[in-house]
């Protein structure tokens, strides 16, 4: 069975993947859910984390043939990890995320702050383009209680990729949840939104799982089934 690394997005630790990880293990996969550098509330040095240290953490957890699953904001560190060590990954799966272009800053204009917190209201979260579809009050309460602010070196750091094309050849799947795959392809081809621009350089496949931005909570069984099927081809 596949060795699968699960990288959660902004504000989240390995706990965010609990249900999906259990489903995958039940299907026989070897699973490691990651808490990326900077997102462990108990780490006294966490505010020094950068996209580079997050990518290095992913590479350190991988070994040849790993399938890397990146959710949301983890897409930047995940793509950088494939740039640093393309030989470590047999496939990358982006869940409501995408590989990002060189120089992109996830949250521009943060200014002189140390970290980027979860917005104070759920209305602000949705206004930023992150759909809460499928999440009930208990899920939102857990999210709020366990969320960890993202260090500015991650949220406001520029992605720095090498000139090597090796990462572009890693088989790539985009699981489209907030946006249907047809729209993602249109945005990719238009090239106007940086988050989808790098996909023009990658022969990715696009699969639909209609729900919100956090499919690991809203549709954990369905997401696990997709990941398992893709990872074990």
Please report, for the domain that includes residue 94, its CATH number: 3.40.50.1820
CA distance 152 to 173: 28
Provide φ and ψ at 127, rounded to 5°: -65, -25
- Segment 83-92 shows an average pLDDT of 97
What are 16-63's pLDDT values in tens digits? 999 999 999 999 999 999 999 999 999 999 999 999 999 999 999 998
pLDDT at 55: 98
Domain count within the chain: 1
CA distance 158 to 23: 35
pLDDT at 64: 85
- Average pLDDT over the chain reads 97
Provide φ and ψ at 201, rounded to 5°: -95, 0
**58 lies in which domain range?**
3-231
With a pLDDT cut of 70, the percent of the chain lying above it is 100
Q: Is 1 a residue whose pLDDT tops 90?
A: no
The region of weakest confidence among 67-81, 94-108, 187-201 is 187-201
Q: Is 193 a residue whose pLDDT tops 90?
A: no
pLDDT at 192: 84
- Segment 180-185 shows an average pLDDT of 97
Nearest to 98 by CA among 159, 53, 18, 163: 159
Q: Is 175 a residue whose pLDDT tops 90?
A: yes
Is 79 exposed, middle or buried, given 0-12, 13-18 or 19+ CB atoms closer than 10 A? buried
With a pLDDT cut of 90, the percent of the chain lying above it is 95
Overall pTM surpassing 0.95 (yes/no): yes
Q: Is 99 a residue whose pLDDT tops 90?
A: yes
Q: Is 191 a residue whose pLDDT tops 90?
A: no
Instruction: List all residues 6 or more positions away from 163 whose beta carbon is below 8 Å from its beta carbon.
Output: none
* Alpha helix positions (H), the chain: 18-26, 51-61, 74-84, 122-127, 137-146, 152-155, 181-190, 194-197, 215-218, 220-231
């Amino acid at each position: 069975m596949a060795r699968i690394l699960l990288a959660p997005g902004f504000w989240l630790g390995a706990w965010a993947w609990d249900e999906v990880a259990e489903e995958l293990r039940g299907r026989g996969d070897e699973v490691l859910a990651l808490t990326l550098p900077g997102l462990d509330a108990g780490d006294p040095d966490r505010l020094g984390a950068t996209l580079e240290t997050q990518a290095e953490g992913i590479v350190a957890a991988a070994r040849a043939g790993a399938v890397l699953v990146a959710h949301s904001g983890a897409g930047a560190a995940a793509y950088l990890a494939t740039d640093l060590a393309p030989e470590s990954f047999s496939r990358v799966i982006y869940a409501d995320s995408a590989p990002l272009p060189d120089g992109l800053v996830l949250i521009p204009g943060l200014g002189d702050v140390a970290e980027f917190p979860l917005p104070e209201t759920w209305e602000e979260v949705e206004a930023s383009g992150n759909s809460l579809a499928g999440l009930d009050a208990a899920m939102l309460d857990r999210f709020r209680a366990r969320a960890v602010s993202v260090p500015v070196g991650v949220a406001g750091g520029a992605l720095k990729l090498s000139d090597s094309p090796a990462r572009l050849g890693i088989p790539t799947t985009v699981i489209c949840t907030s946006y249907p795959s047809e729209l993602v392809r249109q945005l990719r081809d238009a090239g106007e939104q940086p988050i989808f621009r790098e996909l023009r350089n990658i022969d990715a496949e696009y699969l639909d799982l209609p729900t919100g931005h956090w499919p690991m909570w809203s549709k954990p069984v369905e997401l696990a089934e997709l990941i398992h099927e893709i990872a074990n081809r």
